[in-house]
Structure 1
Amino acid sequence: MAEKSLIEVISAAFADAMRSALDGTNPALPPLSPPDAAGARAAIEQLADRAGGVTDAADPVAWMQALESWRDTASDVADRAFAGPNPAEQAFVRFLTERMPRTAAFLALTGVISHTPDGLARVDRQKLRALVTDPGTVVNEGLWDALLADVGLPGTGRLPAVIVGLLLLAPQTVLALTRGDLRVAGLSAPPTAQPGPWRVFREATEGWISITVPIGDPADPQPNPRDMFDWAADLTPDLSGTLAIRSQRHDLGGGKRRTVFEMWLALAAEEDRWQYDFGSGWYLRVEPGLTGGFGYDGSWHGAFRQFALDPARLPGPGDPVEVTFGRELDAGAPDIAFGPPYDTRLVIRDLGLFLRLREDHPVVEVGLFLHGLSAVLTNRWFRTFGVTDTVFRDGIRLDLDLDLAYVEGRGVVLGLSSGLDVTLGIDAEFGKNAPVGFKLHSIRIHVPVRATEDSFDVRAEVRFHISTHLGPVSLVADGLGGWVGYWSEDDTRKYVGLLPPTGAGLEISAGPFTGGGYLDFTGGPNERFGGVIHVKVGTFEVTAFGLHELTGEPGAANRPTSVIVVLGVRFSPGIPLGFGFEISGFGGLVGINRRADTDALREQLTSGAAGNVLFAEDPIRNAPRLLDDLDHLFPRNAGTHVFGPTIQISWLNIAGHKVFRFDVGLFFEFPGPRRIVLLGSARAQLPPLAGGPHLIDIRFDIVGFVDFPKRILEVDATLINSSVMEIFHLTGDLAFRIAWGDHPYLLLSFGGFHPRFTPLPAQFPELARLALTVKPGKLPGGVFFRAEAYLAITSNTVQFGGQVELGYKAGPLNLIGFLALDALIQFTPFHFEVTISAGVRLRWKSTNLAGVRLEGTLSGPGPFTVSGKACFEILWFDICADVRIQLGSSGQPAAPPVSSVVQALRPQLTEPANLTALDGDDNEAIQARRPAAAGDHPLVSPLGGLSWAQKRTPLGLTLDRFDGVPLAAPQRVVVESPRAAGPVQDWFAPGSYANLTEAERLNRPAFSRLDAGIRIGLGAPGASTAIRRDVTVVEIRLPNPPSTGALAIAFAAVTLRAALERTAPSQVRTTAPAFGVREERFAVRDRGGAVLAEDLSVSEAHQRARRAGGVAAAKRDLVDLGAI
């Protein structure tokens, strides 16, 4: 291959740089806005031919003509690719930044290349000429003055920050260093008017060689300089690191010399606490500041020192400088969280690394801290394995705090505190109808662990909640137990011990009268005390219970007291409401310095805690559980208060037995109210026959929230200990969500969703199917039965299905047969899919030995398709056969492909139903709308806006099909408006518009929220012409009013403040949320990792990646493996 000439090499490099600039493949450089991108690309392709013409010129005249043609083509590239007054200079600068970044950075430091405020580059030809003829003057004097002028400081005529540039331009300095006779003149540092250690440091290092590097302002939206231009333009001496070096040569005689060398590094120049944010809450913090150095004067020496500016905190030799890497999130969120906060989860509250440096010993400490690790397996998780709701009602919890460090002079230092906590619900009663009886309610197992580098303690604690009755007297005790292990107390090693009770109660039943109480005297650092009082006379019943605790951390001063009290009154007959309904009870809840924990309410929903707080059955014997539930659902929180009423409504009273009963409480959280909490428990009980169990016993516990800042209503419900005729056991969950914010949606589910549907963006717990099972022992030996179903409704779909299982177990061998149905109906565009499956499996324990599985799917319309699959299973192998039948296509011509989706959607622009009014609330006026007449246009407030949305196809998505018909070529529809204020999203099934493989259908969500329209803003409302009005003030002086001392007592300050708050406008309307959450966006990258497109939905990202041969990944999930 012939060797290329210099002009051909330069042309090829220039062409590659221009292509990179037009494609925007270099993320470190700003994108271009070329006047004529197509023309620029065509001119780039001609450069190689023009360069070849210069190389192949036969004579000087031809060479000059060819060179002129090459120059004209290069100028044409610049004119078409760059806007502005001097495209040639901009092309030259872009070429250097793309292909010769170090040269471009040096020219920027010396001022040859500069940028205007509008981003245009220019070349200073005079400085370029001076750089070639007298580089020392330009480097040493010109640049340092320019940099200091940017921050308003006088120049010095010296440049210690680019001493490396001097070495490059003046290589004789390297020879002088080698010879050992280099003399460095004193270089005075930039002066500062601020007193303190920083000025002392600068003055002490005057005459040293110093290099200052800007660190970047953490408060800046983009603190990291993208390239050397930003480093030069954004130098901020207040946030910088300075390296100071000095060296002297001493003649020791006899031809020997010694070099005295010293180097110091100062960080966080003008700050007592410097912090650099990496994003997502991660930070690197230096506090109070650090100077460190080392030297050699015949032996090595070094030290670290604090660098504090506050005169009140003069550092001593033992005061450390701490460098911490950790994470801080808003609203006290944990650093690491896996799983939702109301379900099985792993949480780390505080995680980080630290480095401590001192001038005195220990000089170095390095380690890590892990505080508040909590691994929780909730009751909901155990329920999926068939465990009853009451066994692990509080789940299993593991807590851990760990501090691990290496300390100079001591070695490894360890601090460990851990604990495993589990409560087993036993509810085993002996002698229930006998004169003397005993009941074991629950067993709590707690395993605390603590360790240091010198000791290790562990023990297992077992505490019991028990009750016993002796005739009419019942006794209750909680917390009584013992421990065994290896434990140190007061420098004494113990191996076994007793645990005293933490609560005790007494109840007496004498005919129509029942009464008693329970006292919780746990005490401890939070001074927890509580109690329960229960009195029943005939059909009139009163129950009250409450807790007292201190808020804040133990040991803190002035800890506010928190109190929560619940009062309930039940009576029969109730207050009639009509149609057989009656109010059979009421009460209320008051919590001072308490809040409603929505996550705990969801977590404890399946355990029945919500219903227990509303209506406690047998409140004295169950008092420990009742108080624990109350404390867990409404934890202490200073400054927050909870109030609300409770009521019981019953229906159909049969022989004094309430068949249907609904207990509900509505609680308001103040100040605000910012949240409304609904707790409910609905029960249906048919009275037993001949003293047996209830024929029907169904209980639905309900938890709901209205969150005003989030603008969302959430309701969750679950079946608790429900049965029919003591034969069938009922389980299942219900959930309802409605949001009216920026992303409105409505979802209702009984028992979950279709297997291919993901209910984003709503936060749904894992819903259990509505299931019916036969209790053990009710069927012949070895036979088991289960039936389950679900129904879900969204704004655009209806989903339902179910499954029936029947099997037989003979030891480890079991035979199972099933029949299942899953149906999904989409309204716009109309589409349905029904899947029926059946099969029989022979298993050894959980391993398939053999089986047969049949599956059929009917989908339509356009046309109707029936697909079937039959599989024969042997161990781990499947032998399958497929069949697919299309109905309705014979004799019917295929629908013609749509040539333009835009034209097909044009009628949607004039469809009145697609246009709705948004917002428009006025805090200063009450709006009253007149009744709308037929044909009236939508009424829009001047403070609001419009929303246009259609449901035929998603916008911004690359479409392969439209209305079920394949397109002749992929198309994408984008709707724009000069007044566009953002997109409007709705649910779509991407598989209805894109050609997906089977693997893609399984791995991608069946439904996604995609753009359906746009929001249209109306701009600022216009103002009318001001009208002048003369106002006359008439002053009337009244005599002194009589004394109102009695009224002052009656209307205390707290009463007046409460009345004022009731009449004042709600704060919720004017309080902005602290942070927002949005759906994750995706980017498309080529095989080399370059970004081809970004800020896309997951569906559009996969569509573009398929056509570009790239990959789709979340914007923040890129992992750089370049160094591996």
Structure 2
Amino acid sequence: MPFELGVAWSHRAGLHLTGAAGLIAEFPVHATVLGISPETVRIGVEASLADEAVTAWATTTLSVRVGGLTAVIEDVGLAADLTFPDEGGNLGKANLAPRFKPPSGLGLHLVLGVVDGGGYLSIDEPRGMYSGAFQFGMASSIAPGSSGFRLQAVAVLNTKTADGRPFTERDGSESYSLLVSGSFQWRPGLVLPAGITLTGLGAIVGLNRRANLEELRNATRSRSLDAVLFPADPVGNAPNVIATLGRMFPPDPTGTLVGIMARLEWLAGTVRADLGIMIEFPEPIRLVVLGRLVINFQEAGRFQLDVVGTLDPGAGEVSLDGSLVDSKLFGRPVSGDMALRLRWKGEKNFAVSIGGFHPAFPKPTGFPDLKRFSINLNKSGDLFRVEAYLAVTSNSVQFGGALYLHFAFWELVVDGRAWLDALIQFKPFWLTAELGATVSVKWGDKTLLALTLLIGISGPGPWRAHGEVTVHLLFWDISKRFDKVLGDPTEENRPTFVNAADLLLDALKQPGTWDVATPGGGGEMAALSTPELPAGQVLMHPGATLGVRQNLLPLGVDLDRLGTSRVQGPRRFDITSFTVGGEAGGSATRSTTTTRRASSST
């Protein structure tokens, strides 16, 4: 919604407004009538106070398919200009002039025999956006078992920002933003080791572009990765492909995007993997990975997993998001989400989940909401659904699932649910598990039977068992609950404490902690005998280097824990000086590795 207004005053015009304002709404449409498919409807109003005019329009983007010909007509419709001429108009002081709005884009895709080709071109000067698509090849050349090729490309050029201003570089100079994505597919492909066949290669280049990670992650759930990973019909779906690419990789004067793509197949096309690897630069440098795995067992089922991964060294984060899309098992829909987050800078954390977390577990910061992995076994309006989840964090493992049942016949309604939820915490050790089931039978609004069974356990600290049995039968109700503490109810998981200073001193008293390095270039000294040393002493050459190594704890770091125990007393240790034979030595040095060394020539 571009919006720019100003207030000005002059002796001649007095107080007046300057600038322009506009409102644009876009609505997706999913319908097909006689081969005509309206894809979007746009309604807009724009006011120019400088021209004293208001323009309103309503347009649509159409896809028309007739035989082997597909035509795309973008942004065609009607417009009306409302002006205020000095001599007046058809509305008194105003004049309303409706007109036909010509399309801003046009595309043609033709399949003629074995030849498959087409192109698309869109020019939108008010928005400063110029885009196009191209494809050419052999019909059905990308189907398994066929032979041929397909070449396709999509390009988007922006000279203005979203608010209508000229696109500028970071130094303020006018520039542009360009995105080009292309691919080449061929069959029978290039055979690689392990029975893998390479059937497609592609590239994507973005000048003054960066990846919108949130949009890419959402694309795994909406099948929008089609716009990047080898789109099936970039000309026939050009408006959607171009709009999706613009959202995924928006103009940004701070970065450049470069990537490559590959399509791999295995087992005669039963397994197909599309992979895209992209890098953004300059700082912040990020690696973005797009992937799609399709396993097609024909009648038995089809599984498609779309994933987006990122590596951000500056933020110290790795992320992975994935969703099952258009997946079925024996004709029944299968769905679910997965995600991974790993952060090693700032607030360190790790979590990976398929289908979400335990109901009582707080979702980690920055972790998306995930749909349970589920299989719907629907038949005649009834419901039979199985759900499951598995999650692992840096301090826990979680798993569980549920079974849902819904049956309706006339006034009779049966609903049921059975579930299992378990969570195991490592440090300090603690677990909780719950198993339950509930079922109800209704006739209209009246409950004939309701049954609930529940049993759970948690602990230690202390161990606790609880359960419930509830029965409702017509006018009879019974309910029994129990909550029992096992063992000592005052028992708690008290943390253990260690004195790190005492442990470090004990470690330094061990002769194996000390190293003696012979001076470089010097010969070995003659020794008439090897004296027996008292316990805890080290024999060394007068010109040798004495070093100390210990693997107990890191130096120069504030310690909260040592192993699984909390540190009490001094929490930070370092080597700042040393003495030899009761006399102070020189300066001490320490390496940057986790194994520390202090050394000096004596």
TM-score (normalizing by structure 1): 0.40
Q: Which residue matches 1:791? A: 390
Distance 1:741 1:639, change over 3 A: closer
CA distance in 2, matches of 1:831, 1:825: 6
Q: Which amino acid aligns with 2:329?
A: V
Distance in 2 between the 1:542 and 1:640 partners? 28
The residue aligned with 2:370 is 767
Residues 304 and 324, structure 2, Cα contact 8 Å, conserved in 1: yes
Give the counterpart of 1:747 among 341, 348, 351.
351
Identify the structure with the greater strand proportion: 2
1:519 aligns with 2:121: yes
SS of alignment partner, residue 906 of structure 1:
strand
Instruction: Give 1 or 2 for the bigger CA radius of gyration.
Output: 1
| Equivalent AA in structure 1 for residue 103 of structure 2 | P
Query: Out of 190, 194, 197, which is 1:575 matched to?
Result: 190
> Contact 1:835/1:856 (CA < 8 Å) preserved in 2?
yes
| Deviation for aligned residue 1:952 | 5.2
Are positions 1:623 and 2:238 aligned together?
yes
Taking a change above 3 Å as real, the CA distance of residues 507 and 460 of structure 1, as seen in their structure-2 partners, is closer
Cα distance in 2, alignment partners of residues 752 and 400 from structure 1: 39
Q: Give CA deviations for 1:16-71 in whole Å, capped at 9, x if unaligned.
A: xxxxxxxxxxxxxxxxxxxxxxxxxxxxxxxxxxxxxxxxxxxxxxxxxxxxxxxx
2:527 matched to which residue of 1? none
Paired amino acid for 2:120: Y
Residues 774-805 of structure 1: CA deviation (Å, up to 9, x unaligned): 45xxx13x312222111101112111111111
Give runs of aligned pairs for residues 236-635 of structure 1, distance below 5 A.
418-424=23-29, 426=30, 428=32, 438-440=35-37, 442-446=39-43, 448=45, 461-470=58-67, 472-482=68-78, 488=82, 494=96, 498-526=100-128, 528-537=129-138, 538-552=147-161, 554-556=164-166, 558-635=173-250
Give the alignment partner of residue 731 of structure 1, picking from 335, 339, 362: 335
**CA distance in structure 1 between the aligned counterparts of 2:100 and 2:412, rounded to whole angstroms:** 47
* Corresponding position: 1:710 with 2:315: yes
Compute the displacement of 1:545 (Å).
Answer: 1.1
CA distance in 2, matches of 1:756, 1:831: 14
- Structure 1 CA distance, aligned partners of 2:417 and 2:106? 51
Mapped to 2, the partners of 1:1022 and 1:906 lie a distance apart of 25
Corresponding letter in the other structure for 2:152: T
Q: What is the correspondence of 1:644-723 to structure 2 with a 5 Å cutoff?
A: 644-653=259-268, 658-672=269-283, 674-687=285-298, 695-723=300-328
CA apart distance, 1:482? 4.4
- Counterparts of 1:488 and 1:849 in 2: how far apart (Å)? 67
Shift, 1:428, TM fit? 4.1
1:867–1:941 Cα change, 3 Å: closer
Residue 586 of structure 2 corresponds to: none
Task: Indicate conservation of the 8 Å contact 1:650/1:660, yes or no.
Answer: yes
- Does structure 1 conserve the Cα–Cα contact (< 8 Å) formed by 2:461 and 2:491? no
- Partners of 1:722 and 1:735 in 2: how far apart? 18
DSSP-derived class of the 2:227 partner: helix
For the residue of structure 2 that corresponds to 1:617, the secondary structure is: coil
Maintained 8 Å contact 1:856/1:868: yes
How big is each residue's C-alpha offset from its partner over 1:371-420, in whole Å with a ceiling of 9 and x where there is no partner? xxxxxxxxxxxxxxxxxxxxxxxxxxxx6969899x9x989999975444
SS state at 2:433 partner: strand
Taking the aligned partners of 2:439 and 2:290, their CA distance within structure 1 comes to 43
Matched length: 509
Q: 1:570 Cα shift?
A: 1.4
Specify which structure has the higher proportion of helix.
Answer: 1
Correspondence 1:605-1004 to 2 at 5 A:
605-653=220-268, 658-672=269-283, 674-687=285-298, 695-725=300-330, 727-761=331-365, 763-774=366-377, 779-780=379-380, 782-809=381-408, 814-841=413-440, 851-861=450-460, 864-870=463-469, 881-886=480-485, 889=487, 894=488, 904-906=496-498, 937-938=550-551, 945=557, 949=561, 977=571
The answer on whether the counterparts of 1:463 and 1:482 sit within 8 Å (CA) in structure 2 is: no
Contact residue 522 and residue 529 of structure 1 kept, 8 A: yes
Q: Secondary structure at the match of 2:253?
A: coil
Between the aligned partners of 1:797 and 1:846, the Cα distance in structure 2 is 43
TM-score (norm 2): 0.72
Partners of 2:264 and 2:274 within 8 A in 1:
yes
1:807: how far off?
0.7
Structure 1 640/843 Cα, relative in aligned 2: closer, same or farther at 3 Å? farther
8 Å CA contact 2:462, 2:489 repeated in 1:
no
Map Cα deviations across residues 143-197 of structure 1 (whole Å, 9 max, x no partner): xxxxxxxxxxxxxxxxxxxxxxxxxxxxxxxxxxxxxxxxxxxxxxxxxxxxxxx
Equivalent pair of 1:595/1:634 in contact (CA under 8 Å): yes
C-alpha contact (below 8 Å) 2:153/2:181 kept by paired residues: yes
Identify the structure with bigger relative contact order (alpha carbons < 8 Å, sequence gap 6+). Answer: 2
Query: What amino acid is aligned across from residue 857 of structure 1 in structure 2?
Result: G
Matched letter for residue 531 of structure 1: G
Spell out, residue by residue over 1:81-100, the C-alpha distance to the aligned partner (whole angstroms, 9 max, x if none).
xxxxxxxxxxxxxxxxxxxx
- CA distance in 1 between partners of 2:408 and 2:56 (Å): 41
Query: Is the Cα–Cα contact under 8 Å of residues 137 and 150 in structure 2 kept in the other structure?
Result: yes
Q: Tell me, yes or no, if the aligned pair for 2:464 and 2:484 is still in contact at 8 Å.
A: yes
8 Å CA contact 2:255–2:280 kept in 1: the answer is yes
SS at match of 1:710: coil
Taking a change above 3 Å as real, the CA distance of residues 429 and 872 of structure 1, as seen in their structure-2 partners, is farther
Q: What is the RMSD of the two structures over their aligned residues, measured on CA atoms?
A: 4.6
8 Å CA contact 1:444, 1:463 repeated in 2: yes
Query: Partner amino acid for 1:461?
Result: A
**Residues of 2 paired with 1:897 and 1:879: CA distance?**
34
Separation (CA, whole Å) in 2 of partners of 1:748 and 1:615: 29
Aligned to 1:624, the other structure's residue is in SS state: helix
Deviation at 1:771? 1.5
Alignment partners' CA distance in 2, 1:459 and 1:813: 54
Q: Which letter does structure 2 place at the counterpart of 1:817?
A: G
- Separation in 2, partners of 1:509, 1:712: 46
Cα deviation digits, residues 651-706 of structure 1 (max 9, x gap): 111xxxx111111111111114611111111112234xxxxxx6523221111111
Name the aligned partner's letter for residue 731 of structure 1: S
Q: Sort the Cα spacing of 1:643 and 1:427 in 2 relative to 1 into closer, same or farther, 3 A.
A: farther
| CA 1:882–1:512: 2 relative to 1, 3 Å | same
Distance 1:941 1:806, change over 3 A: closer
Tell me by how many angstroms 1:853 deviates.
3.6
Relative to structure 1, is the Cα distance of residues 504 and 791 closer, same or farther in structure 2, using a 3 angstrom cutoff?
A: same
Q: Within 2, Cα distance between the matches of 1:649 and 1:659?
A: 11
- Give 1:662's aligned amino acid: A
1:604 to 1:456, Cα distance in 2 relative to 1, 3 A: farther
Whole-angstrom CA distance in 2 between matches of 1:580 and 1:858: 50
In structure 2, distance between residues paired with 1:645 and 1:634: 15
Q: Is the 8 A contact 1:945 1:1017 kept in 2?
A: no
Per-residue deviation, 1:593: 1.1
Q: How far is the alpha carbon of 1:854 from its aligned partner?
A: 3.4
Give 2:483's aligned amino acid.
Answer: R
Give the Cα–Cα distance (whole angstroms) in 2 for the partners of residues 827 and 639 of structure 1.
Answer: 44
Q: Distance in 2 between matches of 1:752 and 1:846?
A: 34
